[in-house]
Amino acid sequence: MKRSDAPWAESLVRRRWFRLRLFALGAAAGVAAGLTVSLYRFLIIQAESCRAVLAAVTADAAAGGQYFPALAWAAGLLILAFLLAALCRWEPMASGSGIPQVKGALLGLFHLRWLRILCVQIFGGALAIGAGLSLGHAGPAVEIGAASAQGVSRAAARDRTETQYLLTGGAGAGLAAVFNAPLTGMLFALEELHHQFSAAVILPAMAAAVTAACTVQFFFGSGTVFLFSGLHPLPPSQLLWSVPLAMVCGAAAVLFNQGLLSVRRFYGLPCFRRPEARIAFALVCAALAVFFCPALTGGGEALINAVTTFPPAFPVLLTLLLGKALFTFLSFGSGVPGGFFFPSLTVGALTGAAFGSLLTGAGLLPPEAMPDLILLAMAAFFAGSVRAPITGAVLLLEMTGRFDHLLPLALVTAISYVTSGLLGGVPIYETLLRRQTAERQNPAEEEGHLTTLLVESGSPLAGRSAASLPLPPHTVLVSIRRNEMSIVPDPSCLIREGDQLLFLTQQPEAEFLHRLKDTPPVPAPKK
């Protein structure tokens, strides 16, 4: 080998070792995420079983004139409210959904104290969902997966850039472990969290999602989450009804997001000044739901399966829809560990069932098409709320195992996405992240933050020189990755489509850099 070829060969070896290391660490992060999420799911199952037994005992005792179990239930709720409030104060980053916190960690805005987050999300979330709150375990599972990946990164002593890649993979692994859907987990991590499709992040994301799903299947089997029966490919004449269905779901998703964001006004009343009061109120609502309408409790898996199999009349569906949405707002607004990912799918399913009930009642569709409409409505509602149409379509494919619905799922998610945008809908997780960033009093303090940015096709950054990039203050372009080569940029270096830019910036400006690719070029000043 010539001496001049030695640096190139050494660089090639480093790149190959880098990819292999990312893949191996991603697989390790997936196993860790699979184990922690399995524990999380197991505790939720046990908590819900205990709740069902206690509710039956309390109801039987009350029917016999014995009210001591009811009083004990009320005292338990009060103790639980103080316990959940203490857990949230101990680790505030574990309260709520968990997905905005992961997005903030990837942007360098937050620190994830991974061990605390695992403890609070796993045990606090199991207690909150087990108590009957209308919360889901998908969002917390994303943060559990990210925290597990950070623990693996700390154990392997990886740098900040590799840690970001592992966090993305771990977050996707958490979602894959919940739904037994590795492809969905990987796509969600790339589309919603990282916003980039580069080889450096795809490798750990793929390895983590697959290994997490395999780990969970060892404990819970390989069955799908939903038991949809009677699904069949819709003929073109019936497929046309999916267009207004998607538009309705897109509009409903906008209203749902507004409800989630506006519930803070209700909890801003003076009587809810202390966190214990907010949580206690939500738990009281949960207790009422447990005894009078158990279908509204939890994430809603059983309700979706029931509505799909035996859809009730339109007034009942409308009542369940409004009740589930309102109870989800109150539960999420309390601030306990738990997300709205799964409840939003339930609201979408109820929206589709109500829409289908009107069509079947008018004779426009046969009753056999109801399960198909519910499936399409769930994907459309998710795409309109989260603004992630690809993930929405693939999610329902993997959760039902019906890949013959790819075309209608892609159609409704696209239409719902456009409808939500036209109505002024905002991505719910990004909006919550901005709110948390503004309210956070002690952001992470570091000297600098490394963040990457992919120059996509048609980006206004393409064709500009490194010196003319519209960068915020205290931000430096340190490297350009192009065609598997790393380039140290000089002021005259031109940016090309497909380049991966590495910036060193202060943390408050990290989010701005991810929006930089959509920012119009800054006109040159007139001389």
With a cut of 80, say whether residue 365 has pLDDT above it: yes
In a shared domain, residues 246 and 215: no
The tens digit of pLDDT for each residue in 394-421 reads: 888 887 777 778 888 999 999 999 999 8
Does 10 lie in the same domain as 55?
A: yes
CATH classification at residue 456: 3.30.70.1450
CA gap 387, 421 in Å, rounded: 9
Nearest alpha carbon to residue 290 among 42, 80, 54: 54
The count of residues in the chain is 527
User: Based on the domain organization, do 252 and 377 belong to the same domain?
Assistant: yes
Looking at residue 144, which CATH number applies to its domain? 1.10.3080.10
Flag whether pLDDT at 283 surpasses 80: yes
- Domain boundary among the residues 164, 195, 220 is at 220
- Average pLDDT of 192-196? 71
- Tell me the sheet residues that pair with 337: 96
What is the count of structural domains for the chain? 3
Please say if the pLDDT value at position 112 is more than 50.
Answer: yes
Tokens representing 387 are 């603004």
Look at phi and psi of residue 335 and say left if phi exceeds 0, alpha if psi is from -120 to 50, else beta.
left
Q: What is the phi-psi region of residue 387: left when phi exceeds 0, alpha when psi lies from -120 to 50, beta otherwise? A: left
Domain boundary among 376, 400, 434: 434
Whether residue 33 has pLDDT greater than 90 = yes
pLDDT in tens, 466-488: 878 877 766 777 778 776 566 76
Residue range of the domain that includes 337? 236-434
**266, 383: one domain:** yes
Same domain? For 394 and 452 the reply is no
Q: How many CB atoms lie within 10 A of CB 262?
A: 11
The segment with the largest mean pLDDT, out of 20-24, 77-81, 438-442, is 77-81
Question: How far is 464 from 469, CA to CA, in rounded Å?
Answer: 7
- Backbone region of residue 221 per phi and psi (left: phi > 0; alpha: psi in -120 to 50; beta: other values): left
Quote the pLDDT of residue 442: 43
411 and 282 inside one domain: yes
Do residues 246 and 205 both lie within one domain? no
Q: Which two tokens stand for residue 87?
A: 């857990």
Domain for residue 231, yes or no? no
Task: For residue range 86-99, list pLDDT tens digits in order.
Answer: 999 999 888 888 88
Are both 265 and 381 inside the same structural domain?
Answer: yes
Query: Per-residue confidence at 447, pLDDT binned at 50, 70, 90?
Result: very low
Per-residue confidence (pLDDT) for residue 397, from 0 to 100: 82
Cβ-based neighbours of 140, under 8 Å, separated by 6 or more:
40, 94, 97, 98, 121, 125, 337, 338, 339
315 and 371 both lie in a single domain? yes
Tokens of 127: 């207690």
Q: For residue 233, is pLDDT > 70? A: yes
Q: How confident is the model at residue 524 (pLDDT cuts 50, 70, 90)?
A: very low
For residue 227, tell me if it sits in a domain.
no
What is the pLDDT at residue 441? 45
Burial of 312 (0-12, 13-18, 19+ CB in 10 A): middle
Q: Given this model, what pLDDT does residue 527 score?
A: 46
Distance CA 374, CA 109 (A): 38
pLDDT in tens, 250-261: 999 999 999 999
